[in-house]
Amino acid sequence: MMAPVLDGSRLAGCYCQSFVKESRIPWPKACAFSRLSKVFSQNSLISSTAKFTSSPVPFLGVGCVIKKKGVNVLSADISALNLASEFLYACDDEYDGVIIDPESLPSSANAFVSALRASLFQLETEGLCTSGKKGVWLKILSEQADLVPIAVQEGFTYHHAEPGYVMLTYWIPDEPCMLPASPSHQIGVAGFVLNDKREVLVVKEKCPCSCSGVWKLPTGYINKSEDIFSGAIREVKEETGVDTIFQEMVAFRHAHLVAFEKSDILFVCMLKPLSSEITIDEKELQTAEWMPLDELLEQPFYLEDHMSRKVIDICIKAYEDQYSGFIARQLNSKLDGKLSYLYYNELKNISSIVM
Amino acid sequence: MMAPVLDGSRLAGCYCQSFVKESRIPWPKACAFSRLSKVFSQNSLISSTAKFTSSPVPFLGVGCVIKKKGVNVLSADISALNLASEFLYACDDEYDGVIIDPESLPSSANAFVSALRASLFQLETEGLCTSGKKGVWLKILSEQADLVPIAVQEGFTYHHAEPGYVMLTYWIPDEPCMLPASPSHQIGVAGFVLNDKREVLVVKEKCPCSCSGVWKLPTGYINKSEDIFSGAIREVKEETGVDTIFQEMVAFRHAHLVAFEKSDILFVCMLKPLSSEITIDEKELQTAEWMPLDELLEQPFYLEDHMSRKVIDICIKAYEDQYSGFIARQLNSKLDGKLSYLYYNELKNISSIVM
């Protein structure tokens, strides 16, 4: 069926929208060691394997230690102190991996390296033979930064980072890592706002970059978990004070190697103005104004930039109902139980073109 | 004019497609210290300011140390050794910031903290009065991981990370940070491939997630710097062995809080098959087949999942030329001198609907 195409699950690090699944499934019983652990061979750590194979306490990834909204829920028969001194807490993800609970990380370097090695050894020796665990996610908070060099030394690789933490990963099998890559794109929005006098809302930014001093559409990045159409409306309001409503997304440009060698998608949104008074954000803008469309088209730059000329053509056609972009509709998916927006060409737009 | 909307420049961390600009502009002359450095007040470091105000050697961000493809180019009158012992090398970015050259980082913790403090102090005291430098980018390679806790201690914040390095930032002014956020989105592609027998190419993945066991379209993530249509063609080929060509992007779903609390855009692409023999990628798939469209539509899931049903309707209409999605056209932009793809509704498609 078509449905699963929308569940967010894609291999090359397959995962679904519910990335982390809390789980009470018991960790598989210890088994004979089929191979030396990569960690052990890397660090030539000598240790008694009996300790792990016979240990009655939970291991890395064991289901009886569940992280719920930052609270560790422990089974009654387990001593957290005893565990913390030897193993790291973790919960399973849905994709043959485990996620170490950052709140379970020992503060001392020695305790951390010891618990990390013991846990990785347990995971590798058990995981490879029965549970099939392949990847380990390790989130280290800023206040735990002393642990970062240790994790790297133990074979972890940086995955992504945000203010407040860095996420590292460890891939067990001797095959290419299948964990999902870190986010690769920034999403920008541009608002094309034309009033009933055929005046376009344009701005000049203070940014000292190559666009400095040129008239442009209000643009910006969408915020975390913000929708494209909402971001376009917000950016126009923040930069110019003009209230708008979303009509359609008319085109987007996909550019590569922008910042940090990542990529960038800029969605051009047609917005209808609900107010006309301009109040600029003086931190971001030099100025803003309603510029007659003809005056905009007469600027020399328009003749020299193919990308820009094409976008101008598209926006004008959209304004004149001779073009059909994508509208946004919120729909529910059974697979993740989430409401999310589908952007597509509303057929009534096309019929309006036919008429 | 419209052009600048496509230059990739957007505030809230304004930047353009050419994020880092090499520069030979000399660093501004030292000036009277208008305020105590944030770093100094944070770490109560006592130091002679005379050393910095009167120093004849280049400071952080000075133009005479330029990083070109990993090679430091030094002016003849400067001793690199002397510099490296006291200051970090950097080049300017376009947006009131500097980017520390990771190859200039001292290997010893003491030398690093000393050079970092001296450089930050220099930047803050000079930068705030004349050059207007506001942000510092510090890229620390995996092999330099020992320096990460020091940078965090000195007031740096994690920005993003990739296998091989972590990027940290430092924001000088006493106002909200305007540096661009780290990448926020993963980009997925799904290939809708229908042959002339009205059979759809569908797969069952090995992924143990919620889509396991259901027939779905071939899907995957686009690779670094890969275009959307290319990614769809590649994923179909990798998973099923079927060769295709891109026809149009018919719709996309924007979902939030997917992996790592980031967002996800899945582009559904209509592809035309050029071959029919299926050879599955056994690492990723359980099976794949050409399934009659009617059989796909009869599956119960289709009736229960609104998002999926809508996408099915759209794809069928597109196949029957009763729908117009976006095609991709490569265009040049004068602003960054780059060719990139613009996705839009090719008007000939609409005229075909009119007919």
CB contact under 8 Å between A329 and B310, yes or no, is yes
Strand A185-193, strand A263-273: pairing: parallel
- Residue A228 CA to residue A241 CA, distance in Å, equals 19
| Two structure tokens written together for B48 | 């002679």
- Residue B73 CA to residue B213 CA, distance in Å, equals 58
Comparing A148 with B18, the larger pLDDT belongs to: A148
pTM over 0.90: no
- Residue B47 CA to residue B118 CA, distance in Å, equals 9
The model's confidence at residue B20, banded by pLDDT at 50, 70 and 90, is very low
What is the CA B315 to chain-centroid distance, rounded?
A: 30
CB contact under 8 Å between B3 and A95, yes or no, is no
CB contact under 8 Å between B259 and A149, yes or no, is no
CB contact under 8 Å between A184 and B188, yes or no, is no
Least confident of A235-244, B178-187, B306-315, B344-353: B344-353
Mean pLDDT (whole number) for B50-71: 29
CB contact under 8 Å between B343 and A260, yes or no, is no
Report chain B residues whose CB lies below 8 A from the CB of A294: none
- Residue B311 CA to residue A3 CA, distance in Å, equals 8
- Give the CA distances from residue B198 to residues B99, B216, B319, B320, in Å, rounded to whole numbers and listed in that order: 55, 16, 9, 11
CB pairs under 8 A between A and B: 470
Q: CA of B169: which chain A residue's CA is closest?
A: A163
ipTM score here? 0.76
Comparing B334 with B341, the larger pLDDT belongs to: B341
Q: Which among B166, B315, B344 is the nearest to A251, CB-wise?
A: B344
SS3 assignment for B55-124: CCCCCCCCCCEEEECCEEEECCCCCHHHHHHHCCCEEEECCCEEEECHHHCCCCHHHHHHHHHHHHHHHH
A280 shares contact with chain B (CB less than 8 Å): no
Could you tell me which of B252, B255, B249, B259 has the C-alpha nearest to residue B343?
B249
* Main-chain phi, psi angles of A35, to 5 degrees: -155, 165
Segment B27-40, tens digit of pLDDT: 222 222 222 223 22
Mean pLDDT (whole number) for B56-76: 29
Report chain A residues whose CB lies below 8 A from the CB of B161: 158-161, 166-167, 182
Rounded to a whole number, what is the distance in Å from the CA of A5 to chain B's nearest CA? 5
Comparing A118 with B211, the larger pLDDT belongs to: A118
Comparing B337 with B198, the larger pLDDT belongs to: B198
Helix or strand (DSSP H, E) at B230: helix B228-240
Mean pLDDT (whole number) for A286-297: 92
Report chain B residues whose CB lies below 8 A from the CB of A210: 7, 9, 16, 18, 94, 335-336
CB contact under 8 Å between B2 and A308, yes or no, is yes
The model's confidence at residue A304, banded by pLDDT at 50, 70 and 90, is confident
Report chain A residues whose CB lies below 8 A from the CB of B266: 5-6, 8
The model's confidence at residue B119, banded by pLDDT at 50, 70 and 90, is confident
Strand A165-171, strand A135-141: pairing: antiparallel
Query: Which of A304, A307, A321, A349 is most worth mutating to test chain B (most B CB atoms within 10 A of its CB)?
Result: A307
Least confident of A187-191, B14-18, B250-254, B303-307: B14-18
Segment A71-124, tens digit of pLDDT: 232 222 333 334 444 678 877 776 677 888 888 888 888 999 999 998 888 877
At CA A112, angle to CA A69 and CA B117, rounded to 5? Answer: 95
CB contact under 8 Å between B254 and A341, yes or no, is yes
Q: Is A69 left (phi over 0), alpha (psi -120 to 50) or beta?
A: left
Least confident of A20-24, B108-112, B263-267: A20-24
Q: Which among B11, B148, B296 is the nearest to A145, CB-wise?
A: B148
Q: Is the pLDDT of residue A338 over 90?
A: no
Comparing A219 with A130, the larger pLDDT belongs to: A219
Comparing A107 with B170, the larger pLDDT belongs to: B170
Q: Which among B4, B6, B184 is the nearest to A187, CB-wise?
A: B184
Report chain B residues whose CB lies below 8 A from the CB of A18: 210
- Residue A246 CA to residue A328 CA, distance in Å, equals 9
Instruction: Report the range out of A203-207, A264-268, A309-313 with the highest average pLDDT.
Output: A264-268
B215 shares contact with chain A (CB less than 8 Å): yes
The model's confidence at residue A150, banded by pLDDT at 50, 70 and 90, is very high
Q: Percentage of chain B surpassing pLDDT 90?
A: 42
| pLDDT given at position B212 | 66
CB contact under 8 Å between B94 and A208, yes or no, is yes
Mean pLDDT (whole number) for B40-51: 27
What is the CA A229 to chain-centroid distance, rounded?
A: 18
Q: Is the pLDDT of residue B134 over 60?
A: yes
The model's confidence at residue B355, banded by pLDDT at 50, 70 and 90, is very low
Could you tell me which of B67, B124, B125 has the C-alpha nearest to residue B91?
B67
The model's confidence at residue B340, banded by pLDDT at 50, 70 and 90, is very high
| Two structure tokens written together for B251 | 């719709």
Q: Is the pLDDT of residue B226 over 90?
A: yes
Q: What's the mean pLDDT when you consider all of chain A?
A: 74
